């Protein structure tokens, strides 16, 4: 048999949903500073690793592998199209 929704069931459901919302909001307000601090530390560590890797790569590159400057041939002329 199909149950019918009652007014008290509706009120209980709304109350439970609002309770979950406000509890989650309160918990996130308490936890947000810790989460942001953790995320900032992780980003800082990644940036330090990347910077260290770039420094190591630059110091390991022998001078014979550094490309020489190419000779400049002519000069660059920027052409503009004229609309008629």
Instruction: Kindly report the three-state secondary structure assignment for every residue of the chain.
Output: CCCCCCHHHHHHHHHHHHHHHHHHHHHHHHHHHHHHHHHHHHHHHHHHHHHHHHHHHHHHCCHHHCCCCCCCCCCCCCCCCCCC
Task: Count up the domains in the chain and report the number.
Answer: 1
- Domain assignment present for 19: yes
- Domain assignment present for 81: no
- Domain assignment present for 77: no
**Could you list the mean pLDDT of each consecutive 10-residue stretch along the chain, which spans 84 residues?**
78 96 96 95 92 73 62 73 76
| pLDDT recorded at residue 18 | 98
- Domain assignment present for 76: no
pTM equals 0.46
- Domain assignment present for 72: no
In which domain, by residue range, is 50 found?
7-60
């Amino acid at each position: 048999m199909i149950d019918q929704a009652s007014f008290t069931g509706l009120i209980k459901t709304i109350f439970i949903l609002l309770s979950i919302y406000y509890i989650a909001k309160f918990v996130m307000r308490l936890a947000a500073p810790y989460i942001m601090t953790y995320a900032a530390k992780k980003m800082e560590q990644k940036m330090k690793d990347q910077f260290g890797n770039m420094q190591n790569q630059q110091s390991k590159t022998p001078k014979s592998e550094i490309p020489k400057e190419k000779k400049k041939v002519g000069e660059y002329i920027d052409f503009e199209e004229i609309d008629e």
